[in-house]
Structure 1
Amino acid sequence: MKKYYKDTIGSRIFDIFNVVFMIVFCFFVIYPFYNQFVISLNEGTDAMRGGLYFYPRKISFEGYHWLFQNPHLLKGAVISIFRVLVGTGTCLFATGLLAYIVTLRDFSGRRFMRVLFVVTMYFSGGLIPTYLLISSLGLTNSFNVYWIPGLINAYYMLLIASYIQNLPESMVEAPRIDGCSELRIYCQIILPLSLPVFAAVAVYLAVQHWNAWFDVMIYNPSGRWDTLQIYLRRLLLEMDMVQNLQNEMLIQSKFKNLKPLTFRAATTIVVTVPILVVYPFLQKYFIGGITIGAVKG
């Protein structure tokens, strides 16, 4: 087999250094999550002593048991998943369509639209005007408040537009001459060709919708459309209140081995695992979309 580099001592040292560096780097990236997993599996009272690094001293599943026994947890998980699917899908379609419009060379207002949406990235009305607007539109206490306000994202529009600009112009000119509408060109030509950048943006949007909780707390006071993150936040607050209870007998009987430290670690694992499961399937598109979309042809 032909070698394309000289197998010298310097190259071997360089390869060893790269391998060691990547191993150390991966360790520092993975270990914090692994440490939270170890703490979540340890008995709460023992975990308060500290010193948990690679394995639990006293294995206990009480944190997970108390977490999953909440009857509203499943409902919140379903609403969170539904929000991720609807919010990600609608934002991808609408933002991608806007990105396609601002890349049309025959559209005279494309530069003005770019500037208009870029301004919204740096200036906003603030929390109170935004709440008054959403309230006047009747979006509070409804599922629509989770996806309609975020239908268009200026940053993702610029990212997708930079990718679409690299596509050959002839690929859209031919169907346009044949009488194909712009919407059909976008759905049948632009979307399939721009799959890498759309998949990359989908990862960002999915994580954003999955971790969102502040807008749920503000725009959903009735609690009808509470997501998983809101229920987990309430459980964490309840665990903090346990530490302030005056009745020591209640603490000893009901929460003997359950502490906020282990419960917080268990909550972190539950919230993070779904994203870790989905990400490997989109990794190749994620990397390709970011690198290719950022290079001008």
Structure 2
Amino acid sequence: MVSFAIIMIYPFYNQFILSLNDGVDAARGGIYLLPRVFTITNYKMLFENTNLTKGFLISVARVLVGTSTSLLATGLLSYVVTVKNFSGRKFLRVLFIFTMYFSGGLIPFYLLVMNLKLNDTFTVLWLPSLVNVYYMLIISSYMQGLPDSIVESARIDGCSEIRIFFQIIAPICKPVFAAIAIYLCANHWNSWFDSLIYNPSGDLDTLQVYLRRILLEVEALEKIQDVASKNEASEFRNVSSITLRAATTMVVTLPIVFVYPFFQKYFVGGITMGSVKG
């Protein structure tokens, strides 16, 4: 287990020490345990970008709105397909599962976004991922493992289905909701492609889009050797794509790493509970 943990952790640690190393020196290789030529220039180049704060706030807003709305919509759908006296639950389940394997493709979806006037709006960042079928199957599997007597007694007392979901089912399913919330947070935080193609003005570019842009600029500069050699006085002349990519990995990954411990106690139990019957 110790060896397996080292195998899993070391690549992340290696990216961390590379991000604190001089770019020109890092190109020589051989950096394994500690930075050979320590520098914070890579991070300084990232955070001197004035748009980075704006992109960070948009990414945080996307995570909060996208995670909460998707968790609510997916949770409600999961409850609907587990209500045994609802005659259309099997049809709904098959209908949504069908969308996991077949879709219209990128171009029809892009045309749909344009026709709905969702381009260049914050809505396009969270609305298309409102319902996730895979997560619906996980949550519904968890709900199917709950005793039927809990819901039946609530119906006898006159509770509506909405009240049953929010006051009975949701609190009981808190572990699986917390586990799914981790996945949703990571998905929204790491997403950049939809922001790139559905936001042509650039007003709603997320943090990942700005970091990708900075990385591409450095890679383009490396290919222009004459310009790079003439720019001797540049503060960032020793920044390379290798070290900047490592610093970008740290900036993108660490926020999610810090969030994970708060949900760790729900993670394993929330995914596995309800999946095994007997």
Do Structure 1 and Structure 2 share a fold, with TM-score over 0.5? yes
The equivalent of 2:34 in structure 1 is 55
CA contact (8 A) 1:197 1:293 kept: no
The equivalent of 1:206 in structure 2 is 185
**1:64 pairs with 2:43:** yes
SS at match of 1:210: helix
Structure number with greater Rg is 1
* Structure 2 gaps, min length 5: none
Residues 199-238 of structure 1: matches in 2 within 5 Å? 199-238=178-217
SS at match of 2:273: helix
The equivalent of 2:238 in structure 1 is 257
User: Quick one: which of 220, 241, 256 aligns to 1:275?
Assistant: 256
Alignment partners' CA distance in 2, 1:247 and 1:237: 16
CA contact (8 A) 1:37 1:269 kept: yes
**1:247 pairs with 2:230:** no
* Structure 1 gaps, min length 5: 1-21
Change (3 A) 1:64 1:105: same
SS at match of 2:218: helix
CA contact (8 A) 2:113 2:119 kept: yes
Per-residue CA deviation, residues 231-269 of structure 1 (Å, 9 max, x unaligned), is: 000000110111122324443221321111111110001
Per-residue CA deviation, residues 18-65 of structure 1 (Å, 9 max, x unaligned), is: xxxx11001000000000011110111111110000001110110000
SS at match of 2:252: helix
**1:285 pairs with 2:266:** yes
Alignment partners' CA distance in 2, 1:114 and 1:38: 47
For normalisation by structure 2, the TM-score amounts to: 0.97
The equivalent of 1:149 in structure 2 is 128
- Amino acid of the structure 1 residue aligned with 2:105: G
Alignment partners' CA distance in 2, 1:250 and 1:97: 61
CA contact (8 A) 1:90 1:151 kept: yes
- Amino acid of the structure 1 residue aligned with 2:84: R
- Amino acid of the structure 2 residue aligned with 1:252: E
For normalisation by structure 1, the TM-score amounts to: 0.91
Alignment partners' CA distance in 2, 1:251 and 1:283: 48
Bigger mean CA offset, 113-122 vs 247-256? 247-256
Per-residue CA deviation, residues 193-243 of structure 1 (Å, 9 max, x unaligned), is: 001111111111111000001101110011111100000000001101111
- Amino acid of the structure 2 residue aligned with 1:62: T
The equivalent of 2:84 in structure 1 is 105
The equivalent of 1:186 in structure 2 is 165
Alignment partners' CA distance in 2, 1:31 and 1:118: 38
Alignment partners' CA distance in 2, 1:251 and 1:55: 29
Change (3 A) 1:53 1:171: same
CA contact (8 A) 1:163 1:292 kept: yes
**1:83 pairs with 2:62:** yes
Alignment partners' CA distance in 2, 1:165 and 1:25: 35
The equivalent of 1:42 in structure 2 is 21
- Amino acid of the structure 2 residue aligned with 1:170: S
1:285: Cα distance to partner? 0.4
1:134: Cα distance to partner? 1.1
CA contact (8 A) 1:40 1:265 kept: yes
CA contact (8 A) 2:52 2:207 kept: yes
Alignment partners' CA distance in 2, 1:232 and 1:253: 24
The equivalent of 1:29 in structure 2 is 8
| Identity %, equivalent residues | 59
The equivalent of 1:135 in structure 2 is 114
Per-residue CA deviation, residues 135-187 of structure 1 (Å, 9 max, x unaligned), is: 11111100000111111111111110000011111111122122211111111
Taking only aligned residues, the RMSD between alpha carbons, in angstroms, comes to 1.0
SS at match of 2:29: coil
